[in-house]
Amino acid sequence: MRILLLEDDANTAAYVSKGLEEEGHTVDHLADGRDAVAQAVGETYDVVILDRMLPGLDGLAIIKEIRSAGRRVPVLFLTALGGVDDRVEGLDAGGDDYLVKPFAFSELLARVNALARRPHTIGEETRLKVGDLEIDLVSRKVTRGGDTIDLQPREFRLLEVLMRNRGRVVTRTMLLERVWSFHFDPKTSVVETHISRLRAKIDKPYDTELIHTIRGCGYTVNDGA
Q: Which residue has the higher pLDDT, 16 or 153?
A: 16
Residue 124, C-beta contacts closer than 8 angstroms, at least 6 positions apart = 44, 45, 46, 72, 73
Residue 116, C-beta contacts closer than 8 angstroms, at least 6 positions apart = 1, 46, 47, 74, 126, 137, 138
Phi, psi (deg, nearest 5) at residue 144 = -140, 125
Contact (CB, 8 A) for 37 and 53: no
Average pLDDT over residues 10-26: 91
Domain limits, CATH 1.10.10.10, in the chain: 127-221
* CATH code 1.10.10.10 for 127-221: yes
Lowest mean pLDDT segment, chosen from 93-102, 134-143, 200-209? 134-143
Q: What is the tens place of the pLDDT at every residue in 108-164? A: 999 998 988 776 444 456 788 999 999 987 778 999 999 999 998 889 989 988 998
Residue 122 pLDDT: 46
Residue 121 pLDDT: 46
* CATH code 3.40.50.2300 for 2-117: yes
Q: What single-letter DSSP state applies at residue 165?
A: T
Contact (CB, 8 A) for 29 and 74: no
Contact (CB, 8 A) for 21 and 65: no
CA gap 10, 13 in Å, rounded:
5
Please state the separation of Cα 58 from the chain's center in Å: 22
Domain limits, CATH 3.40.50.2300, in the chain: 2-117
Average pLDDT over residues 33-56: 88
pLDDT over 90 (residue 179): no
Residue 214, C-beta contacts closer than 8 angstroms, at least 6 positions apart = 169, 220
pTM of the model: 0.59
CA gap 101, 221 in Å, rounded:
41
pLDDT over 70 (residue 87): yes
Side chain identity at residue 17, one-letter code = S
Residue 72 pLDDT: 84
